[in-house]
Structure 1
């Protein structure tokens, strides 16, 4: 039977570092390079829906599935990563996933109809859904507990850059080249990652584990449940209200996920994902903080471009560039966060980062139609500084008390939490804005100052969620607890 050891013990020598400093840096580079385009593809196509509809002579409702199909495939694939990593080994699975993503990208670039493009986006999503969690698991297992902060800082770069670069890069490619290059641009970047991986990834460092049978019933509950919940939340966010699609998706997804939890508690060690990991203080507190933080941050990232376009009258490119300081600020503090986490534990940088993000978000509640883009960019830069502290610290905290055997399952579970939190944040941000608007029609026209109070209220809501996220962050274990003393 496959067992998951939650806490490290004196005899758990398997979680000593697998890689030297140089080998860890090379592994981090390969994982980040391979993952960045898969994360970027979650946002790069968002600006192309109207162009694709015009080029392919298809209604927007059909073209929207180019975005939705990728997201759902991504979501449905995530739960299987823990089992697949143990069954095939991280290196083999990562290389296979990257090849699948490259093949899907080439096929999307050659698509001849909406149906073919949607189908090929699903292929992309399957490969992309495996890459990030498998890469995180390889890094966590190779780094060892004392270097987790630095490892997670590097692998979090793609997640930080995607909301910033996706819309900007997509808009530039549409204006100057062709929509096909939104997919073909993945090929050289991921091809370079593939070549580097073949040379740099050690063959014997991450071998397959025990070949436990696949939990088929758990897979049939968890993957469709996660996809249905993400779809329902996305539908609610698109419409700004919980319509029939949203209600059915959220209700169905919640029931399936609830069924999986009951099933997993009965199956225990044989379950697809071990939900008992939530009982570990480090993982449980990290997962709760990640989910709440995702709700707030993705709400902010959705609201800012809308504010620029509706209130300030900016175009798509300007709206995307408005979010760019978020990534700039995050990159400045990211590497500091990694080293600080390795030295003093995750609690201090996480709480400090949350307070900085909260301060920047509080400043956003004061903006209006007369606020200059430079002032708003400064506020977003402050949020980015805090974001660079929070993300790698929380990711490291999720794994630091776990055995090496538990990391693949923990990575899958943490990725599910982040995926739900981000979808919930995007949906709730849009719904709160809709509820606070003077009328539903105001979101469909240039409402100007009439919508400013609604945006202010939405940013206040995000600030409240951030304040709540501080509570589980305070429960993160102290370094002495992490070290087992």
Structure 2
């Protein structure tokens, strides 16, 4: 059976519900990849103690994952065109599951870090796929609803994950966190062979003899990302000379990447990132929002669990329980806002979300040792409501004006930009936190917490609030979307 005939057979067998079954299938794999990116934060203190690591080195279990995920996202359009949806998706799920198993069995931190990098590579390939399917398989009047339902399912994993993860860490230690993704990976593999087509995006046949991967562009992107992350770590823990050299290397790699991608486009070759995307103003502004939003989102995902454990002295299982209500509210908000995104201008929804997220970070500074826990839950929940407004709206506002031939590239690029912001956000929060701890005369070497430690955390939260406020300026530019004006 030909590839197009296989897709037609699936549509004929399952009818109108096929696109929803396809979305469900990739949602399970994306849940596994997102869970693997966030659940590790609950285990960082326990892992640090097991391997006798400082906070900066332990943080690389998160930052290494983020760096690998960020770079591998750029390969998704090429992989889909060459191998099709199913082979690409199944390969990523096998790599993710292998990383979870190896990480859980590791006896050395270097092997744990390698497993995290493997998981990050797999997660990066998977995460642009749902946006491509939503923009390709659903009409404009259903894209918001599909984004909302998909987002609701995806956030349930990290919402419930920290609660289960916290209990597992208390009972079985940090290793159990790695094994949590295995059941999701197994389920995703079964669904993939049942519902995911072998075709490439657009229903065309995958071409294994197509254009070769832009390896030079990929190496430049990887070099720039690694130089940037290491440069930020050196800003605090190393010397100014090393930091300056690494950050200069990041700028040089970025300029070389842009020049190379332009050259590839001029020669008619398949570029790793099609820079024509940024000629669409809504996409360009949406990318700015995605970068800052990624910095705040992933920075806070790292910062909040560390704050609750090392700042307020709470146990991992209690931390997971406190964060659960906020995660459940986020899931409900996404489903509701997804329907609104089909009828309301997305720049309004994104701006409202950023304002709520900034307010949540600012209000976290009112928490102290005698604060009632319900107030802490309320501030965290407010931030998750803000995320619920942003998640289903941002991609739609940025990608609706794109030419259909650019959708796969657009989904890859905006996810890359968001995750680059996320990788920076994790490092930035760690750097600012360590800097402010030293300024207040405290460090994590001390087992007991103190008002000085809370002050350092508060200043880190204020930095995130300022970033969200800055992103609102770019979010307003999403109103230029022609697709929105037609609505």
TM bracket, shorter-chain basis:
0.7 to 0.9
- Measure how far apart 1:64 and its partner are: 6.5
Relative to structure 1, the CA distance from residue 94 to residue 389 in structure 2 (aligned partners, 3 Å threshold; closer, same or farther) is same
The 2-side partners of 1:426 and 1:123 are apart by 19
List runs of 5+ in structure 2 lacking aligned partners: 1-10
Call closer, same or farther: CA 1:320–1:181 in 2, change over 3 Å.
closer
- The 8 Å contact of residues 311 and 451 in structure 1, kept in 2 or not, is answered as yes
In the alignment, what sits opposite 2:8?
none
Q: Please state whether the residue corresponding to 1:41 is helix, strand or coil.
A: helix
Deviations 1:74-133 (Å, cap 9, x if unpaired)?
Answer: 233222112222222223311221122223333444446555544444433322221112
Q: Distance in 1 between matches of 2:223 and 2:153?
A: 26
Residues 1:253 and 2:250 are matched in the alignment? yes
Which residues of 2 match residues 4-83 of structure 1 at below 5 A?
Answer: 22-48=17-43, 67-83=62-78
| Conserved? CA contact 2:153–2:331, under 8 Å | no
2-structure distance, mates of 1:424, 1:48:
20
1:156 aligns with 2:151: yes
Report the equivalent of 1:459.
461
> Residues 243 and 380 from structure 1, CA distance in 2 versus in 1: closer, same or farther, beyond 3 angstroms?
farther
SS in 1 for 2:389: helix
The answer to whether the Cα contact below 8 Å between 1:231 and 1:249 also exists between their aligned partners in 2 is yes
Paired with 1:49 and 1:456, the residues of 2 have a C-alpha distance of: 20
Question: What's 1:226 paired with?
Answer: 225
* 1:450 alignment partner, SS class: helix
- State the aligned residue count: 466
Distance 1:43 1:266, change over 3 A: same
Q: Give ranges in structure 1 of 5+ residues lacking alignment.
A: 1-16
Map Cα deviations across residues 12-32 of structure 1 (whole Å, 9 max, x no partner): xxxxx9997522321221111
Q: Structure 2: how far apart are the matches of 1:119 and 1:430? A: 21
Quick one: distance in 1 between partners of 2:204 and 2:283?
24
The Cα shift of 1:483 comes to: 6.6
Determine the C-alpha separation between the residues in 2 that align with 1:50 and 1:379: 24
Query: Cα 1:67–1:425, aligned 2, differ >3 Å: closer, same or farther?
Result: closer
Which is worse superposed, 330-339 or 427-436?
A: 427-436
The equivalent residue for 1:475 is 477
State the match for 1:295 in structure 2: 295
The answer to whether 1:355 aligns with 2:350 is: no
1:420 has 2:417 as partner: no
Q: Are the counterparts in 1 of residues 66 and 419 from structure 2 also a CA contact under 8 Å?
A: no
Which deviates more, 392-401 or 292-301?
292-301
TM-score (norm 1): 0.83
Equivalent in the alignment of 2:259: 262
Q: In the TM superposition, what are the counterparts of 1:187-202 in structure 2 within 5 Å?
A: 187-202=182-197
Give, in whole Å, the separation in 1 of the partners of 2:89 and 2:398: 21
d(CA) in 2 for partners of 1:284, 1:316: 40
